A and B are shown apart, each in its own frame.
Chain A
Amino acid sequence: MKMFLLRSSALALVASMAGGAFADEEVTAWRLFVSDHGQAVVTVLDAVNGNVIDTFDIDGPASLYRSDSGETVFAVQGSAGAVTAISTGIAFDDHGDHADIDVSQPGLTGLVVTGERPSHFVENRGQYAAFFDGEGLARVFTETDALAGASELREVDSGAPHHGAVIPFDTSDIVSIPHPEDPSNAPVGVRILDRDGNQIGDDYECVGMHGEAVSGNLVAIGGCADGILIVRSSGGEPVIEPLTFTDRLPQGRVSTLIGGRGLQYFLGNFDASTVSIIEADAEEPFRLVELPTRRVHFAVDNVRARFAYVFTEDGQLHQLDIISGDIAQSVRVTGPYSMDGHWSDPRPRVAVAGDSVFVTDPLEGKLHVIDAASFEVTGEIEIEGVPFNIVSVGGTGIVHGDHDHDHDHDHDHDHDHDHDHDHDHDDHDHHDDHHDDDDHDHDH
């Protein structure tokens, strides 16, 4: 076990200790998982000191998705036809007033889900659905199975190979509807299937469907010509309704989505140089934010819930204030990365780990480190090859000292409740922004 003991203190919340016991310790650990644009490798870095923890050989270049819990990273290798599960080695157990952290070595779990052209990867309600475009079906499994290295895969079939997605619910699934005449075109909507593959209710039209994200108990499905679909959960089952663009909005399309954490919202594209902050229940659900140049990538900040980050082709990283809808700060991080050229050319990607924002610089072989508060570039990490996709996991938790633990039940009711109940253990780029990581938020 490798631990990163950055801070330790005798915290007020911890135990009444037996004689000779040690104090519980507050431990912070953040890890970065970085894939290469051309090589079949995932590098794991300690985000606190920049050291390489491990390197994993996989089957092909990968897009990366982290689980909601942060215990697993999935490497989706479209060209190699494989989805590989990697244990991050950081696990939290939330106890309401604090979370325990367990830090160990990362490793391949042994689970490799294979199929033809895996693309969209969605986590919802404790299940993961890897959609294989070449087969038109998703293979669904749980994190428990992924970490155990084996899984009985549940298959959800859309009916035809296409660039689609499946969103799992408790006893049913939302499935993209292939274009009826030419499945190589974008899907035309979604439908709900029960576990036997029988349709529940009507089709939901969404011509051009592409992109999905989760924020709390809401799911957003993008790409529709006239807006997006919002999916609410009722008793664990989906209730789908359209969220239509209002008349005052210019022409646009939201086909790439990520979900906020800590605040319930979605961040989407709108046009090449405009992003949209989407609140399903707000009077004006789509707020547009213009960027100085075209967008390359975006990510939400789950540590500082009011902020998200947008990287633009002029090499700038922008801090987006979700509440005011303004760009709060900008900093130049890399040289220009034009959005002209192929959609899958190597371009920077963004992840947040603790107090830092990390930006890959594929052409320079670097990660840039930006302080999230001062918003200044504070460091860089050189990486061999072409670092491309990046996700982070980690946070702060308690490691219990070696004692016969018994929590103190004699708390004063006046105790301070200002502890961070949610803890900062979830950077949560929401793993279903895979399309964005692939940067294929283009018209198919």
Chain B
Amino acid sequence: MIYRWLKHASICTVITLAPQIAWAQQASLNVVATFSILGDFAQEVGGDRIALTTLVGADGDAHVYEPRPADAVALARADVVLQNGLLFEGFLTRLVQASGTSAEIVEVSQGADILDDPQGGHYHYYGDRTVFHAAPYDPHAWQSVANAKVYVENIAQAFCAVDAQGCSTYTANAQDYIDELAALEDEIRAQIAAIPEDRRVVVVAHDAFRYFQRDYGITFLSPQGVSTDSEASAADVASLIREIRAQNASAVFAENISDSRLVEQIAHEAGLELGGTLYSDALSGPDGPAPTYLEMIRHNLSTISAALAVD
């Protein structure tokens, strides 16, 4: 076998996609939000100054999203791309590369109060060596309304950085929305306070509510890890059933982004009723109960409260 490399030619052609930035002509900012909750925040802040594209739409699961060529086109045209970060959007790096976009990629969870994930790692064994792999943060930070305020502030800053003329509008919109979020937090605390303390343990399909747990005092058990990308094993489920009994969990909830069969099985085996559907990583469609972030949190709160109310 003969192997030889030919000389590289001196002329190197690199194809790049020129982003079709048109905001100056259209008097609006082209914004891409990676998933529906960020899209809602962006719309609240940007109002009618922005043209918004949301990649993972209503009831969609960003953990396992497969981006399409049309998404790459949207990125190429964007002025600002809003992502959660914390390894939530596993598809984004490749999509940014494919699109050739020059837009600002803004990680809106920056500065939020992020949970280290004590269970987000695992050991590997290589011969006599042990290697620990960490998945260091829980990405579902928006389930804390306090964090949602940080998201909104970051979005306003990102818009101001690209569209200085609209900055006063973005800032004012953000402040109005943050005021609504503050009121929402008061509602949450009041409703949770009405739930007996011994009934504040529930079960969901994946670990999406640990920020809600931290900030508001409802304990969520789940059979899966943080990402819906990993299937729960039979051992996980058996362990969870034991945990449900040990902690005297009061209700099991389906999630809008997850197959409900697993939690239905868990509810059956644990002798619990399915308490309804919670919205974790995505909003509902416009006709559903959670088309906006505010409505999503209120829906989750009322669903939990109803299921945990004393009979």
> Can you list 25 A-B pairs, Cβ within 8 angstroms, ordered by A?
A96-B90, A100-B131, A215-B66, A216-B66, A262-B67, A263-B69, A279-B68, A281-B68, A304-B98, A305-B97, A306-B17, A329-B13, A369-B5, A374-B12, A374-B14, A376-B8, A379-B4, A380-B4, A400-B126, A404-B129, A417-B85, A417-B86, A417-B107, A421-B93, A422-B90
Which 3 A-B residue pairings sit nearest by Cβ, starting from the closest? A216-B66, A50-B3, A407-B134
Please measure, in the bound complex, the distance between the C-alpha atom of A376 and the C-alpha atom of B6, giving whole angstroms. 10
B259: Cβ under 8 A from any A Cβ: yes
Identify the stretch in B70-78, B176-184, B277-285, B298-306 within 8 Å (CB) of chain A at 4 or more residues: B70-78
**How near does chain A come to B154, taking the closest CB pair, in angstroms?**
12
Say which residue of A49, A95, A324 sits within 8 Å of B17 (CB atoms).
A324
Which of B66, B91, B107, B137: most chain A Cβ within 10 A? B66
Distance between Cα atoms of A278 and B114 in the complex (Å):
40
A324-355 Cβ-contact flags toward B at 8 Å (1 or 0): 10001100000000000000000000000000
B90 touches A265 (CB 8 A): no
| Interface residues as binary, B84-98 with A (CB distance below 8 Å gives 1, 0 otherwise) | 011100111111011
Residue of A nearest to B89 (CB): A421
Whether the pair B68, A373 counts as a contact (CB closer than 8 A) is no
CB-CB under 8 A for A97 and B15, given A217-B64, A323-B69, A417-B107: no
* Contact B130 A404, beta carbon cutoff 8 Å: yes
Greatest chain A CB density within 10 A among B71, B94, B100, B227 is at B94
Q: Does A248 contact B (CB under 8 A)?
A: no
For A422, the closest partner residue in chain B by CB is B94
A-B contacts counted at CB < 8 A amount to 160
Among B3, B70, B90, B93, contact of A418 (Cβ-Cβ < 8 Å):
B93
Cα A224 to Cα B307 with chains together (Å):
50
Q: Could you say which of A306, A378, A411, A414 contacts B98, with CB atoms under 8 Å apart?
A: A306
| B98 contact set on A, CB distance < 8 A | 262-263, 304-306, 323
Kindly identify which residue among A95, A322, A373 contacts B133, using a CB–CB cutoff of 8 Å.
A95
- Which chain A residues lie closer than 8 Å to B68 at the CB level? 263-265, 279, 281-282
Name the interface residues of A273-310: CB closer than 8 Å to any CB of B: 277, 279, 281-282, 304-306
A384 CB contacts on chain B under 8 angstroms: 1
Which chain A residues lie closer than 8 Å to B135 at the CB level? 95-97
Q: Of all chain A residues, which has the CB nearest B111?
A: A413
List residues of B whose CB falls within 8 A of some A CB: 1-6, 8-9, 11-15, 17, 64, 66-73, 76, 85-87, 90-95, 97-100, 107, 109-111, 114, 116, 121, 124, 126, 129-137, 227, 259, 261
A2: Cβ under 8 A from any B Cβ: no
In the bound assembly, the distance between CA atoms of A129 and B227 in angstroms comes to 28
Q: Which residue of B lies closest to A100 (CB)?
A: B124
* CB atoms of A378 and B5 under 8 A apart: yes
Q: Which of A100, A235, A319, A323 contacts B99 (CB 8 A)?
A: A323
Say yes or no: B116 contacts A409, CB within 8 Å.
yes
| Distance between Cα atoms of A418 and B9 in the complex (Å) | 31
B131 and A421 form a contact (CB under 8 A): no
Complex alpha-carbon distance, A216 and B67, angstroms: 9
Within 8 Å CB of B95, what residues of A?
262-263, 305
Residue of B69, B111, B130, B137 near A279 (CB, 8 A) is: B69
Closest beta carbon of chain A to B11's beta carbon, Å: 8
Instruction: Given the known inter-chain contacts A263-B69, A306-B98, please indicate yes or no for A381 contacting B3, CB distance below 8 A.
Output: yes
- Using known A-B contacts A96-B135, A413-B114, determine if residue A378 contacts B69 with beta carbons closer than 8 Å: no
Are A279 and B1 within 8 A (Cβ)? no
Which A residues are CB-close (under 8 A) to B130?
A: 404-405
Which single residue of chain A is at the shortest CB-CB distance from B114?
A413
Q: Which residues of A contact B67 (CB under 8 A)?
A: 262-264
Bound complex: CA of A407 vs CA of B92, how far in Å? 24
Q: Report the minimum CB–CB distance from B135 to chain A (whole Å).
A: 5
Task: List residues of A (395-429) whose CB comes within 8 Å of B's CBs.
Answer: 400, 402-409, 411, 413-414, 417-422
Q: A363 in the interface, Cβ–Cβ < 8 Å?
A: no
Q: Is A382 an interface residue (CB 8 A)?
A: yes
Interchain CB contact under 8 A, B133 and A328? no
Contacts A51-B3, A305-B97, A381-B1; A322 near B69 (Cβ below 8 A): yes
Given known A-B contacts A382-B1, A405-B129, A420 and B94 have beta carbons under 8 A apart: yes
Picked from B69, B90, B110, B133, the residue with its CB within 8 Å of the CB of A414 is B110
Q: Which residues of A contact B129 (CB under 8 A)?
A: 400, 402-405
| Contact between B93 and A306, CB atoms less than 8 A apart | no
Contact check, A218 vs B66: say whether CB atoms are below 8 A apart: yes
* Interface assignment of A314: CB less than 8 Å from any CB of chain B: no
What residues of chain A lie closer than 8 Å to B227, measured between beta carbons?
96
**Complex-state Cα separation, A97 to B134, whole angstroms:** 9
A407-B133, A417-B107 known; A217-B66 Cβ under 8 A: yes
Knowing A217-B66, A414-B110 are in contact, say whether A323-B72 is a contact too (CB < 8 A).
Answer: yes
Q: How far is the CB of B231 from chain A (nearest CB, A)?
A: 10
| Chain A hits for B107, CB < 8 A | 417
| B8 in contact with A378 (CB, 8 Å) | yes
Q: Is A93 an interface residue when CB atoms closer than 8 A count as contact?
A: yes
Q: With an 8 A cutoff between CB atoms, is A375 at the interface? A: yes
By a CB distance below 8 angstroms, the chain A residues around B131 are 100, 400, 405
Chain A min CB distance to B78 (Å): 14
Would you call B136 and A409 a contact (CB within 8 A)? Answer: yes
A381 to chain B, nearest CB (A): 5
Return chain A residues, CB-CB under 8 Å to B91.
Answer: 421-422
Distance, CA A418 to CA B83, complexed state (A): 12
Question: Given that A97-B135, A305-B94, A323-B17 are contacting pairs, would A282 and B124 also be in contact in the complex, using a CB cutoff of 8 Å?
Answer: no
Complex CA distance for A15 and B132, rounded to whole angstroms: 9
Chain A residues 3-56 with CB under 8 Å of chain B are 15, 49-52
- Is the CB–CB distance between A377 and B6 below 8 Å? yes
Q: List the B side residues contacting A376 at CB < 8 Å.
A: 8-9, 12
Q: Quick check: B72 and A306 within 8 Å, CB to CB? A: yes
User: B128's closest neighbor in chain A, by CB?
Assistant: A402
Residue A135 at the B interface, CB < 8 A?
Answer: no
CA distance A304 to B2 in the complex (A): 29
Which chain A residues numbered 217 to 276 have a C-beta less than 8 Å away from chain B? 217-218, 235-236, 262-265
**Is residue A155 contacting chain B, with contact meaning CB distance below 8 A?**
no
* Chain B residues within an 8 Å CB radius of A305: 94-95, 97-98
User: Chain A, 361-379, contact with B by CB distance < 8 Å: what is the 0/1 string?
Assistant: 0000000010101111111
- Specify which chain B residues have a CB less than 8 angstroms from the CB of A414 in the assembled complex: 110
